[in-house]
Amino acid sequence: MCSQSCPTPKTSVHLLNNLFSMNLQKTILLIITLCFSFFIKAQNYKCLPCGLDCDKEVFTKAGTCPKCKMELVPAASITFKNMETNKVCEYIKTHPKTILLDVRTKEEFEGSADPNFGSLKNAINIPVDDLKTRINELEKYKNSEIIVYCSHSHRSPRASYLLTQNGFKHVINLSGGMSEMKDTSCKK
Ligand SMILES: [Zn+2]
């Protein structure tokens, strides 16, 4: 009944196996593609941290924040931590090597501005607008913990972001800033 061209049972199994492994490969490829496209789609954006409420909003596309007009950056690129003002003095006491970076103007830092919120002992002053050009002054602190502060935490998140984007690994933004500091034990 069966001619010479008819496959032997052994060949059929072989063919079936081949078909199965081909499908398996396709399935795996499909899963990888799906995961990848999901990852691309799942890329979230946030506005370049400016300390305003819109910092918490999540966008699905790059562009500009409709509220503060700041550039939208990948949410995953915002890696600095935040610290409450009531924790900072204690933290400095227990971590004396922490670098303190005041990103306000020279006048605010020195206390000649009105209002004067004071500044932290042993802080370094680099105004936020100068940070990009003066970042080399902080080169030796790339692996140190750096607490970044200003008056109301509107400038320090942007400065903190800039530092992390330039390879500084342990950056902490002081939430609320000097205007909310009640503990005076680490103030100048
Ligand atoms: Zn915004």
Q: What is the C-alpha separation between 150 and 128, in angstroms, rounded?
A: 9
Segment 166-185 shows an average pLDDT of: 96
Among 77, 100, 124, where does a domain finish?
77
d(CA 170, ligand 1 centre) in Å: 24
Residue 101 shares a structural domain with residue 168: yes
The parent domain of residue 35 ranges over 9-42
d(CA 57, ligand 1 centre) in Å: 8
Task: Judge whether residue 6 has pLDDT over 70.
Answer: no
Label residue 26 by pLDDT band (50, 70, 90). confident
d(CA 60, ligand 1 centre) in Å: 14
Taking each continuous run of H as one helix and of E as one strand, the counts in the chain are: 5, 7
Please give the sequence-ordered ranges of beta strands (E in DSSP) within 27-184, or none if there are none.
45-47, 72-74, 81-84, 99-102, 124-125, 145-149, 170-175
Residue 168 shares a structural domain with residue 87: yes
> Looking at the domain assignment, is residue 3 inside a domain?
no
81-139 per-position pLDDT tens digit: 999 999 999 999 999 999 999 999 999 999 999 999 999 999 999 999 999 999 999 99
d(CA 68, ligand 1 centre) in Å: 4
d(CA 188, ligand 1 centre) in Å: 33
d(CA 32, ligand 1 centre) in Å: 34
Residue 100: give its domain's CATH number.
3.40.250.10
Segment 54-59 shows an average pLDDT of: 93
Report the pLDDT value the prediction gives residue 33, as an integer from 0 to 100.
Answer: 60
If one counts the domains in the chain, the total is: 3
Label residue 25 by pLDDT band (50, 70, 90). confident
Report the pLDDT value the prediction gives residue 23, as an integer from 0 to 100.
Answer: 74
Q: Which has more confidence, 26 or 164?
A: 164
Structure token digits, residue 61: 């596309």
| Prediction pTM value | 0.78
Task: Judge whether residue 154 has pLDDT over 70.
Answer: yes
